[in-house]
């Protein structure tokens, strides 16, 4: 009896906390682009489906990104990802910075680190086939071979 009651107390407490959490909204922003990357169409399609939700200002926020506490985690992830690489602000980076970010991309692709596993689980369409990964790696290499890597739409 007391066990049942404390279980109910716990359930009610968790429910109340979840409801209260909804009043602490996460800032799901998509600011305007400043010099968006303009890669070849095939590469752009791959980047869009596998990377842009986190590494651009064109995030397609899923419905669960509106539900705390998941919303807080997702917004934090996107903020961190945009800080590392933001394809919507590619043109605002110095050439040396672009080069560094391309080097990171090459490494992340070779190591199979990106897109993150959990994201792939939730977005099966974001998975990179070997051929997509190889094409991205080639594009990174060709970017590194040019003096001012990565063209932008500006």
Residues that bind ligand HEC (CB under 6 A): 50-51, 53-55, 77, 80-81, 84-85, 104-105, 107-108, 113-116, 119
Give me the least distance between CB of 63 and ligand HEC, in Å please.
Answer: 16
Return the number of other C-beta atoms located less than 10 Å from residue 79's C-beta. 13
Instruction: Give the residue with the Cβ less far from ligand HEC, 19 or 45.
Output: 45
Give me the least distance between CB of 10 and ligand HEC, in Å please.
Answer: 32
| Residues 6 or more apart in contact with residue 31 via CB below 8 angstroms | 57, 88
| Residues 6 or more apart in contact with residue 41 via CB below 8 angstroms | none
Give me the least distance between CB of 140 and ligand HEC, in Å please.
Answer: 9
Instruction: Give the residue with the Cβ less far from ligand HEC, 23 or 41.
Output: 41
Can you tell me the distance from the alpha carbon of 30 to that of 57, in angstroms, rounded to the nearest whole number?
Answer: 5
Instruction: Give the residue with the Cβ less far from ligand HEC, 95 or 117.
Output: 117
Can you tell me the distance from the alpha carbon of 26 to that of 72, in angstroms, rounded to the nearest whole number?
Answer: 5
Can you tell me the distance from the alpha carbon of 15 to that of 133, in angstroms, rounded to the nearest whole number?
Answer: 43
Give me the least distance between CB of 74 and ligand HEC, in Å please.
Answer: 8
Instruction: Give the residue with the Cβ less far from ligand HEC, 3 or 111.
Output: 111
First to last CA, the chain: 69
Give me the least distance between CB of 3 and ligand HEC, in Å please.
Answer: 40
Instruction: Give the residue with the Cβ less far from ligand HEC, 10 or 36.
Output: 36
Report whether 56 contacts 87 (CB < 8 A): yes
């Amino acid at each position: 009896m007391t066990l049942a009651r404390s279980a109910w107390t716990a359930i009610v407490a968790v429910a109340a906390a979840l409801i209260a959490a909804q009043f602490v909204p996460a800032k799901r922003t998509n600011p305007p682009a400043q010099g968006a990357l303009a890669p070849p169409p095939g590469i752009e399609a791959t980047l869009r489906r596998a990377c842009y939700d986190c590494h651009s200002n064109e995030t397609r926020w899923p419905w669960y990104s509106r539900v705390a506490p998941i919303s807080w985690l997702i917004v934090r992830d996107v903020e961190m990802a945009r800080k590392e690489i933001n394809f919507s602000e590619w043109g605002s980076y110095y050439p040396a910075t672009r080069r560094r970010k391309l080097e990171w991309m090459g490494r992340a692709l070779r190591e199979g680190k990106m897109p993150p596993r959990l994201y792939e689980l939730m977005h099966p369409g974001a998975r990179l086939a070997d051929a997509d990964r190889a094409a991205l790696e080639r594009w990174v290499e060709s970017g590194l071979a040019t003096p001012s890597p990565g063209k932008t739409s500006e």
